[in-house]
Chains A and B, each alone.
Chain A
Amino acid sequence: MKKILAADNLCYSINETKLFQGLSFDLFEGKAIHVLGGNGSGKTSLLKIISGLSKPTRGSITKSNKKNVCFVGHKNALKQYLTVEDNLSLLEVDKHNDINAFLKKLELSKLLDVMVASLSYGQQKKLALLRLFLNDSDLLVLDEPCVGLDRKSQDILCSFLREQKEEKKALIFSSHISLDVDSEYINLDKAIS
């Protein structure tokens, strides 16, 4: 059971206001962590620290493989003025072998030469999630993945996440909507000791 991620005594504060303090947890492959907490309790900051975007004020994070992280944030990192096809090549997923299977499953295969700007928010979110479905990194960090997804896409996402867990991938995500993926829980509201 390889340990993907180890965090001890993490604290993060902005302008002297402490978001969370003394947070320690380990993440093994094939396991998932669901980060809970009210708005502004530092969920996104924690996920940013884990994905290596920002550094904690105190404490440390050790990752088995620094670069192999897939981060899905609020912004879905698509170029509005480019077509879906161009965006796929930007996401470097266009040459992936089962790209067409996922496109069909998410009903995006017909929209390949459509400008992203003319897609609905839900469709854009599904397109952004392709980066998650076709990635090969062993640590998946998701920040509110289900926002804007319809019922059907949420099921696709949850089943995909369960699959990833069997394939020994580590998962850490924050979400208001409960994803039926069995995971340990970290509550940030209680972490402000």
Chain B
Amino acid sequence: MKLINFEFLKLRKKSRGWLGPILVFILIMTAFPLTVEILNKNLEQAFFSILWIATLLVMMLATEDIFLEDYNDGSLEQMAIKYDSLSGLVATKIFVYWVLIGIPISLIGALYGFGITRSSESALQILPILLITTYIFLNVFSFGNALSLTKGSILGTLITMPLVLPLLVVLGKVVIAINLGISFLGFLFLLLGILSIIILILPMIISFVIKAHLE
């Protein structure tokens, strides 16, 4: 429990860490209508794809120094010694990042959804989808970040992009389901299933990778 407070303290005080990605998300979402002219017919259609890509990009930015900063100032070493398995620590870190970055972004995304598609029930529908997808993206990208800890984050994203693309296929299907108006609960549970697997497995792999880095 105190681990969560520590991580909250660390991230909350570093406004660049959590505020930055959210502002970038807002920027992308407001810039998107500018690129498409006013006629709203295809604005709605393009909105969802822009939303997924924006979430993807912002999650990439958010996890840039999730482990790097602790690695550089040595606190990762101390944690590795104090806690036997790092996966608990990694899971808490990702959870804190999700709370401070993932949730605001999903809310803002739903708000934009409401703004553009002007149908509150579609905005409410994509909110849970966004919440789950941001968490999955966070896990996968922090895995990429952990792999390329000292080598700069471009390598990290290059490695994890292929792993995330199948997820975009699922999101594409969700968009089709929403546009046709049919219930997309099936996809919601599919995403939940993916999330539950990832939450269990990835922190363990990440802690193994970090321990290898610290050697």
**Interface residues, chain A, with chain B CB atoms under 8 Å away:** 48, 51-55, 66-67, 69, 71, 73-82, 86, 89-90, 92, 131
Contact = CB atoms under 8 A, between A and B. Distances in A.
9 contacts: A48-B215, A52-B81, A53-B215, A54-B215, A75-B72, A76-B73, A79-B10, A90-B75, A131-B78
Nearest to A54: B215
Contact of A77 (B2, B73, B211, B215): B73
B37 interface: no
B14 interface: yes
Interface string B177-215: 000000000000000000000000000000000010011
Judged by DSSP, the binding face of A is: loop
B207 to A, nearest CB: 13
A71 B78 contact: yes
Given A82-B9, A86-B9, A71 B214 contact: no
Contact of A75 (B6, B9, B73, B80): B73
Contacts of A67: 82, 84
B74 interface: yes
A76 B74 contact: yes
B41 interface: no
Contacts of B14: 81
Contacts of B72: 75
A76 B77 CA distance: 10
Interface string B1-24: 010001001100110000000000
Contact of B10 (A48, A51, A53, A82): A82
B73 A80 contact: yes
The 10 closest A-B pairs by CB, nearest first: A75-B74, A54-B215, A77-B74, A77-B75, A77-B78, A71-B81, A53-B214, A81-B14, A51-B81, A82-B13
B9 A90 contact: yes
Nearest to A90: B6
B14 to A, nearest CB: 6
A127 to B, nearest CB: 12
B73 A53 contact: no
Contacts of A74: 74
B215 A55 contact: yes
B13 A86 contact: yes
B13 A81 contact: yes
B77 A77 contact: yes
Nearest to B10: A79
Given A71-B77, A81-B14, A92-B2, 13 more contacts: A53-B77, A53-B80, A53-B81, A69-B81, A71-B81, A75-B72, A75-B73, A77-B73, A78-B75, A79-B75, A80-B73, A82-B13, A86-B9
A82 B14 CA distance: 8
Interface in B15-68: none
Residue among B2, B82, B214 with the highest chain A CB neighbour number at 10 A: B82
Contacts of B77: 53, 71, 73, 75, 77
Contacts of B214: 48, 53-54
A73 B13 contact: no
B215 A89 contact: no
Contact of A73 (B2, B74, B82, B211): B74
A154 to B, nearest CB: 21
Residue among A48, A52, A81 with the highest chain B CB neighbour number at 10 A: A81
Contacts of A79: 10, 13, 73, 75
Nearest to A14: B215
